[in-house]
């Protein structure tokens, strides 16, 4: 629901007044609905009476959430910008402490760091917070504070609100997720919802570079919890939750030959470009489309100057997969095939970099997804549950690696423009339903009201 003032003003006072009026109207509609005919009641879009306070509170939270977005967007936090990441992580930690959480920063130990070609010397630290409840079930909320953008781009995409959209650098991916988590926790505290045994929040600073420092913490925490909700944005064109994401890997092929004068003594050299071409031809058919395994060689480099037999050559492949088991099988195939050389004396090696595993849908996640759809139906919305990946990968997959507990992705707001030079934005009228959805899922799951989710 858009709580913007119809006259065009968007001050906090106007928003709060409008939200209060909406809550009052909702209470009246609940009373009136009890006197309507069954047919008329079917057309009345209100949550169950017991949940009306949650729905009203979610609407009233919009102004505060927008102010949090303004603060988060105002800090540039690219994945390699440790200064910016320290600043934004301090802001997040302070907010979580103010909400009563036991908060600490996690720096990955050297042994826990999965270093890749684009891993910075000091990846961003994680913000970890724990809230104790009165129940038994443990619930994990995750989001990330890093962005793909280098420092300096904020001037081109500053925070602003226009109509039903809030714009800003990194606002969709994933500062809206951080804000939604913070205000979900704030609402739980304000409403006295503490039927969980433990509510854990993990905000990491390296998701956009495949989580080299946080992947082990994500897997460990996923194993220790009974439900994982990940707050990447859903699409502007499709209000959905995702139960599956693609795995991402990178194959790197390297050939070492021997340099020689291309005109005077070409026979004395070992042409690394020829050997690379041979290897690429015998590695071109590794895709298995029916299983969602895609292997495409996309980059190649060889040679030093025109008149020298190239002593080195290399190539890289983009790999997408839907099953965790396919990664090891693909690595075995790669290692076996590169043993067949074209040129004696050439040296060939191949490595498979595990950028991100796939999130595979589970029956438990499907049951939680079905419950989420019922929650949305109660407020007159339609929620899609997508159990096929769209091509991208997220941290939900790391959280699911070592658990059979339900893991759901895209609990965040509806957003657009991630990873592009276009203006990123989120839809304001997705704030209330998305906050309400998170509140209900946490409360219902903690209280054992999600059928068959164990």
**146 is an active site residue:** yes
- How far apart CA 254 and CA 277 sit, in angstroms, is 11
Largest CA distance in the chain: 98
Asked if 74 and 66 count as a contact pair (C-beta separation under 8 A), the reply is no
Do 326 and 291 form a contact (C-beta atoms < 8 A)?
yes
**Catalytic pick among 207, 275, 409, 444:** 207
Say which residues have a Cβ less than 8 Å from residue 249's Cβ, sequence separation at least 6.
319, 320, 321, 327, 330, 352, 353, 354, 355, 356
What residues form DSSP beta bridges with 386?
Answer: 242
Residues listed for the chain: 454
Cβ neighbours of residue 341 under 8 Å, at least 6 residues apart? 275, 278, 348
d(CA 299, CA 437): 43
Q: Please indicate whether residue 363 is annotated as part of the active site.
A: no
Task: Determine which one of 146, 208, 326, 395 is catalytic.
Answer: 146
**CA nearest 98: which of 216, 186, 10, 204?**
186
- Which regions of 307-410 does DSSP assign to beta strands (E)? 312-321, 347-356, 384-386, 407-408
Output phi, psi for 159, to 5 deg: -70, 135
Q: Which residues are catalytic?
A: 146, 207
């Amino acid at each position: 629901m858009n709580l913007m003032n119809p006259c065009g003003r968007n001050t906090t006072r106007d928003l709060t007044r409008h939200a209060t009026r909406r809550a009052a109207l909702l209470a009246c509609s609940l009373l009136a609905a009890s006197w309507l005919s069954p047919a008329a009641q079917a057309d009345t879009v209100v949550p169950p009476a017991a949940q009306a306070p949650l729905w009203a509170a979610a609407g009233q939270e919009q102004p505060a959430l927008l102010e949090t977005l303004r603060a988060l967007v105002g800090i540039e936090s690219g994945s390699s910008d440790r200064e910016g990441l320290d600043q934004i992580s301090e802001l997040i930690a302070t907010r979580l402490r103010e909400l009563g959480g036991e908060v600490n920063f996690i720096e990955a130990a050297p042994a826990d760091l999965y270093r890749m070609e684009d891993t910075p010397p000091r990846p961003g630290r994680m913000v970890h917070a724990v809230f104790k409840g009165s129940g038994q079930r443990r619930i994990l909320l995750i989001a990330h504070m890093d962005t793909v953008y280098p420092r300096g781009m904020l001037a081109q995409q500053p925070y602003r609100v226009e109509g039903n959209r809030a714009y800003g650098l990194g606002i969709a991916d994933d500062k809206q997720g951080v804000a939604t988590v913070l205000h979900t926790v704030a609402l739980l505290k304000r409403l006295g919802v503490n039927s969980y045994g433990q509510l854990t929040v993990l905000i990491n600073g390296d998701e956009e570079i495949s989580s080299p420092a946080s992947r082990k913490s994500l897997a460990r925490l996923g194993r220790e919890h009974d439900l994982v909700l990940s707050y990447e944005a859903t699409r502007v064109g499709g209000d959905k939750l995702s139960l599956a994401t693609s795995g991402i890997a990178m194959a790197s092929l390297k050939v070492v030959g021997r340099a020689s004068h291309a005109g005077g003594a070409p026979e004395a050299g070992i042409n690394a470009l020829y050997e690379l071409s041979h290897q690429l031809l015998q590695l071109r058919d590794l895709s298995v489309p029916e299983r969602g395994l895609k292997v495409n060689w996309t980059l190649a480099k060889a040679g030093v100057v025109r008149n020298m037999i190239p002593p080195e050559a290399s190539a890289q492949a983009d790999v997408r997969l839907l099953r965790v088991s396919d990664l090891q099988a693909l690595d075995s195939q790669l290692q076996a095939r590169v043993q067949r050389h074209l040129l004696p004396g050439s040296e060939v090696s191949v490595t498979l970099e595990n950028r991100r595993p796939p999130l595979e849908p589970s029956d438990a996640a499907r049951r939680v997804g079905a419950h989420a759809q019922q929650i949305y139906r109660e407020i007159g919305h339609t929620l899609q549950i997508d159990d096929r990946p769209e091509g991208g990968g997220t941290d939900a997959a790391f959280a699911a690696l070592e658990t059979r507990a339900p893991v759901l992705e895209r609990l965040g707001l509806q957003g657009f423009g991630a990873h592009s030079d276009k203006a990123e934005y989120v839809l304001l009228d997705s704030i209330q339903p998305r906050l309400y959805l998170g509140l209900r899922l946490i409360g219902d799951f903690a209280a054992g009201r999600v059928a068959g989710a164990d």
